[in-house]
Each structure stands twice: as C-alpha cells, then as structure tokens.
C-alpha cells in the first residue's frame, strides 16, 4: 500500500454493487477451492442490504475504488451466546462478519488494515474485545487471526435453511 492512497470508511449506498461483487467473487473463490464457508447462496444481497440498513458496513477504498469490505458490529452476535467453549471475557465486543477483499487487490494488506481499524473503533467506543468466527477450512482467515493475536475460544453454530446447522470456529482478541 506504499504509493496507493487508501481510505477506510463507512459504506455508502452507492457502494452496494461494488461490495456485492467483492463478496460474490470471494464466495466463488471459496467454492472453487472446495471450501465450505460461503457458496452460491451466501452472502446474499439480503445479507448485505441488512448490513447497509444497520449501518455496520465498512469499506476500504484504494485510489477511489472499493477494494475491501467488512461488517463491523457492536450489537453483539446471538450465535455467540451459546458458544461451545469459553470466551476470554464477558465485556462488550465488536464482531467482524463478511470480510472480503477484491481478488485483484489481494496481498496488499487490506484485511490487516480492516482489523487495525476495528481496533481503533473499539478504542473510540471503549470496547475491549473483538470476536470473529470462520470456517475450519478458511486457511487465510485462520492464519490472519492467529497472527493478529486472536485466541481460539470454541465453536458457534448458525442455522442455514430450515434444517442445516453450520459450525464455525470462534476467536476473541482482548485489547
């Protein structure tokens, strides 16, 4: 990101299409690699619209192009209330969901940049913890969160469809 101009900011309605293309591109890459986290149905436009409606979507712009996205919420995550394991803290936390980087912008540190901004947002709000979950086969995210000092805390489950439950590995970092 040396000569590139980057900006982290809240997502705007005009970012919707670019963000959706980033999310769908990441989902297609996961499917192509045989990964189980995202697929042709998730994340859907409705998931992204909910992020935008709640005001929890954030983007990174690189030279005026949206190249990365994350949903960053301070409202909690209901699935985290029934963790199979133990969280590091009982304090309020930020949660990061639906993080993706434009394929052409991979390897430029955007995911790390998002996490550093999440830490900044936490400090501004006096929130002392960040939680995230990911799939067992999302090797890039697993490597990143471990490198950034997140600690494995257990498993959470999400309802997908009417019968299927999906398991995710849950991590927390105290600030």
Residue 124 lies in a domain: yes
Q: Whole domain around residue 93: which residue ranges?
A: 6-174
Residue 49 lies in a domain: yes
The model carries a pTM of 0.92
The CATH number of the domain holding residue 65 is 3.40.630.30
Biggest CA–CA distance in the chain, Å, is 49
Among 111, 115, 122, residue whose Cα is nearest residue 175: 122
Which two tokens mark 160? 């997908």
Per-residue pLDDT of 4-42, as tens digits, reads 789 999 999 999 999 999 999 999 999 998 888 888 888
Residue 95 lies in a domain: yes
Residue 60 lies in a domain: yes
Give me the pLDDT at residue 1, please.
Answer: 43
Give me the pLDDT at residue 162, please.
Answer: 67
Report the distance separating Cα 140 and Cα 73, nearest Å. 22
Q: Which residues of the chain have pLDDT under 50?
A: 1-2
Assess contact for 133 and 67: CB atoms under 8 A.
Answer: no
Indicate the number of domains in the chain. Answer: 1
Give me the pLDDT at residue 3, please.
Answer: 58
Give me the pLDDT at residue 143, please.
Answer: 96
Residue 1 lies in a domain: no
């Amino acid at each position: 990101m040396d000569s590139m101009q980057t900006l982290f900011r809240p997502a705007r309605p005009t970012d919707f299409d670019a963000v959706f293309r980033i999310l769908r591109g990441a989902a297609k890459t996961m499917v192509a690699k045989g990964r189980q986290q995202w697929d042709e149905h998730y994340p859907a436009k409705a998931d992204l619209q909910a992020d935008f409606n709640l005001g929890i979507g954030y983007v990174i712009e690189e030279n005026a192009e949206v190249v990365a996205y994350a949903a960053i919420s301070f409202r909690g995550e209901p699935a985290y209330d029934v963790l199979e394991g133990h969280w590091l803290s009982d304090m309020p936390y930020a949660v990061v969901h639906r993080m993706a980087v434009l394929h052409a912008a991979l390897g430029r540190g955007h995911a790390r940049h998002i996490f550093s901004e999440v830490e900044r947002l936490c400090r501004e709000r006096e929130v002392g913890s960040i939680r995230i979950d990911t799939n067992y086969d999302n090797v890039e995210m697993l490597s990143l969160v471990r490198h950034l000092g997140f600690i494995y805390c257990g498993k959470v489950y999400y309802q997908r469809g009417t019968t299927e439950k999906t398991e995710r590995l849950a991590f927390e970092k105290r600030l």
